[in-house]
Structures are given as C-alpha cells and as structure tokens.
C-alpha cells in the first residue's frame, strides 16, 4: 500500500478501533500529534508503535515541536528555546550560534526519533518583523541571510539525528498581522519585494535539499488570486521550477479559517492537491476527514510517493543511548547560553 495524500489527527492518548480503521484507508498517509495525544514518554512510544503497526509502508508521524511557544511534548522532554534566541546569539557570535542551532536541531530531532516520531514541522523560516503575533519569536531573525544560515544549521542537526526537515510557512508569514488560524491574511507586496526578503531562506534551503515545505494560508494578490496553498503559481512555478525544490509540499491545516476558500473540505483537498501539494493536513474535524476519505478521487502520484518516503525517520536511537550521548550534553549546555523558552503554548487546535 502506498502513502495517501491526507495527514490526519487523533483524539486522545491511545489509538481507538475507529481510528485504526481510518488509518488503514488508502487515502491516509500519516498522522499529526498534538499535546492532547501526549501524557509521558512511555505512552507516546506505545502510541507511535500502534500507528506504525497499522500498515506497510508505515504511516508518517509528524508533530509541531519547534520549541518556545510551540512544543507539543513537554513533560519528560527537554524544554526547547524559541528560535529567536538563536538569532540573538547570532548577533553576538555567529560561529557559536550556528553550532548551537545544529545541536538544538539535533536534540529536538533525537528526542522525537527515540519515540519513533518521523519528523517535526521545523524549522520556521519566516522573518521576524514584530507584526505577526502568530510568528514573532518563532522566527530566527529579521534578516533573510541570517534566517537561512541558522535554518541550514538547524536542518543539519536534524539530519544527524535521522530526521528530515520541513520548513514553514512559505513564502513567509512573519510580515502580516492576521493569524491564518482565524482569518485569511492578505499581503499586498510584490513578488520582486518578496524575492529580496521573505523568499530568500526558502530558496536557499531548497537548494540545500530540505525534505519538505509547508505553504502559508496567505493571499498575495500581486502574485496570484488564490492563497498560496491552493496556487500553482506559488507551488509549481516559483517553489518547484524557479527554486528547484525537490521535496514534499504539505498544505497547512485545511480546517483553518485561512483555508476556507470553499465550504467543502473535499474541494479544499482537491484544490490543494491540484496546486501541487503532496499531502494535505486535515485536523480537528473528524466529519470532514470521513467525508474526504469517502469522496476524494485522486490518482497515485509516484513522484509524490518518493518525496514522502524520504520523510520516514532513520536510525534506531533509543532513549537510554540518547541520555548518554555526548552531543546531548553539548546541546543541554548550550541551552544555558540562551534566553529561557516562553512557557505559553500556541494552542493545540491546529498545526502551527
């Protein structure tokens, strides 16, 4: 069985019989976990084992685990810093900041891989501007080249731990003040302006071989009349053809208000897939998931299968080995150099 084009959520701490049936559907390709799916490390390991046992090839298991406000698993996991703290260190010591970014990327990925989570939707490649409350300190820095360098270092750390990276939110969410969880943001800048700023980290990470990218639910009317996640201009012409991106494209959650260009979740999924998304997130709306599974008609895309398979986690690092790993000691030591991570979590109602 191949990996389907839907990434869906679960209700609780264990996999129910109904959810096991949903995950066996050929249109499902993976699961995204939230804080409600986590109690402790033992429970998480049992849940991921149950998900991976449903079918072959195993379903992808994803999570938003950036650090700072967006870290779904906290108890018994290392509390990770907001990415902006790495940007602050970069201004003082470039070389050290790149080392720490790689170590923290490794630590984040290694702790997740020790529990068979395949990947985190990270790193954030948006620019910090102070305009966006939903991004803000989730961004590394305000300068495009700095974001790109820290993002590449963070990705190298993830790779060393056996995890692929998924950058977000293409082509940049940091400038608009509206939150796409609740409304559709509109950014009226030109493509030429975006090429000089927000697009720089995505272009450079695409060249560096990042495995996945998530488009933002934002409308750029100077570029296309469709929001980015539904736009072939953005996904096929700019991201794939102009930037040469070879990885998987994940839609942001189609249940978010910013994605609601159609009342029908089936139409939203069809539009996202037609625009070039390889996998669509559909969360916190079980009725919509069932409707899409019942009615969505989509042909198998062999190229998309290759892109998605690259996001299966690699290696078999267990927690005992991780605790004694010398790189973990380096990473934990580096955390003391950074500003404390905010304790306020950015909600659990949708992917971040």
Sign of CA dihedral 135, 140, 141, 147: negative
| Domain total of the chain | 2
The pLDDT, as a whole number, for residue 255 is 84
Q: Does any domain span residue 209? A: yes
- Verify whether residue 182 is a known catalytic residue: no
The pLDDT, as a whole number, for residue 183 is 72
The verdict on 132 and 274 lying in the same domain is yes
Q: Does any domain span residue 348? A: no
The verdict on 51 and 136 lying in the same domain is no
Q: Does any domain span residue 78? A: yes
Set 252, 253, 278, 312: catalytic member:
252
DSSP code per residue over 133-155? TTTGGGSS-SSHHHHHHHHHHHH
Query: pLDDT tier at 262 (50, 70, 90 boundaries)?
Result: low
pLDDT digits (tens, 9 = 90+) for 25-58: 999 999 999 999 999 999 999 999 999 999 999 9
The verdict on 166 and 257 lying in the same domain is yes
The verdict on 138 and 224 lying in the same domain is yes
Q: Does any domain span residue 340? A: no
- Verify whether residue 181 is a known catalytic residue: yes
The verdict on 251 and 120 lying in the same domain is yes
Residue 88 CA to residue 16 CA, distance in Å, equals: 44
The verdict on 94 and 2 lying in the same domain is no
* Model confidence at 182: pLDDT above 70: no
pLDDT digits (tens, 9 = 90+) for 221-233: 999 999 999 999 9
Q: Does any domain span residue 199? A: yes
Q: Which residues contact 147 (CB under 8 A, 6 or more apart)?
A: 87, 125, 126, 127, 139, 140, 141, 200, 201
Q: Does any domain span residue 346? A: no
The verdict on 54 and 77 lying in the same domain is no
The verdict on 87 and 148 lying in the same domain is yes
pLDDT digits (tens, 9 = 90+) for 277-332: 999 999 999 999 999 999 999 988 999 999 999 999 999 889 999 999 999 999 99
The verdict on 35 and 76 lying in the same domain is no
Please report, for the domain that includes residue 317, its CATH number: 3.20.20.300
* Model confidence at 257: pLDDT above 70: no
Percentage of the chain modeled with pLDDT above 90: 84
pLDDT digits (tens, 9 = 90+) for 97-138: 999 999 999 999 999 999 999 999 999 999 998 777 788 899
Give me the domain span that covers residue 4: 1-61
Set 181, 198, 217, 224: catalytic member:
181
Query: pLDDT tier at 347 (50, 70, 90 boundaries)?
Result: low
* Model confidence at 344: pLDDT above 50: no
The verdict on 40 and 170 lying in the same domain is no
The verdict on 250 and 267 lying in the same domain is yes
Q: Does any domain span residue 343? A: no
The verdict on 100 and 117 lying in the same domain is yes
Task: Please identify, among 35, 61, 87, the residue that sits at the C-terminal boundary of a domain.
Answer: 61
Strand segments, DSSP code E, in 123-234 are: 166-170, 212-215
Task: Please identify, among 40, 61, 82, the residue that sits at the C-terminal boundary of a domain.
Answer: 61
């Amino acid at each position: 069985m191949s990996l389907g084009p839907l990434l869906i959520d679960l209700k609780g701490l264990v996999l129910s019989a109904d959810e096991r049936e949903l995950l066996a559907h050929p249109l499902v390709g993976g699961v995204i976990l939230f804080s409600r799916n986590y109690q402790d490390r033992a429970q998480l390991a049992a849940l991921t084992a149950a998900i991976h046992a449903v079918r072959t090839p195993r379903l992808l298991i994803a999570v938003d685990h950036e650090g700072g406000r967006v870290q779904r698993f906290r108890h018994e996991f290392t509390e990770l810093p907001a990415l902006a703290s790495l940007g602050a260190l970069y201004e003082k010591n470039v070389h050290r900041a790149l080392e720490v970014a790689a170590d923290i990327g490794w630590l984040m990925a290694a702790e997740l891989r020790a529990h068979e989570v395949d990947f985190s939707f990270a790193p954030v490649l948006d620019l910090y501007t102070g305009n966006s409350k939903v991004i803000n300190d989730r961004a590394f820095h305000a300068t495009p080249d700095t974001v790109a360098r820290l993002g590449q270092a963070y990705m190298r750390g993830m790779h060393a731990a056996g995890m692929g990276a998924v950058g977000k939110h293409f082509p940049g969410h940091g400038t608009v003040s509206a939150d796409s969880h609740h409304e559709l943001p509109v950014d009226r800048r030109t493509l030429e302006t975006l090429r000089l700023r927000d697009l720089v980290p995505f272009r450079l990470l695409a060249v560096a071989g990042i495995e996945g990218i998530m488009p933002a639910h934002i409308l750029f009317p100077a570029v296309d009349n469709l929001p980015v996640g539904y736009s072939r201009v953005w996904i096929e012409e700019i991201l794939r053809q102009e930037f040469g991106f070879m990885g998987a494209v994940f839609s942001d959650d189609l249940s978010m208000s910013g994605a609601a260009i159609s009342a029908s979740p089936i139409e939203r999924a069809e539009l996202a897939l037609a625009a070039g998304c390889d996998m669509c997130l559909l969360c916190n709306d079980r009725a919509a998931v069932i409707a899409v599974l019942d009615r969505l008609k989509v042909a198998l895309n062999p190229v998309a299968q290759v892109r998605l398979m690259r996001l299966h986690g690699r290696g078999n690092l267990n927690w005992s080995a991780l605790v004694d790993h010398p790189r973990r000691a380096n990473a934990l030591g580096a955390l003391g150099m950074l500003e404390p991570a905010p304790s306020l979590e950015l909600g659990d109602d949708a992917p971040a």
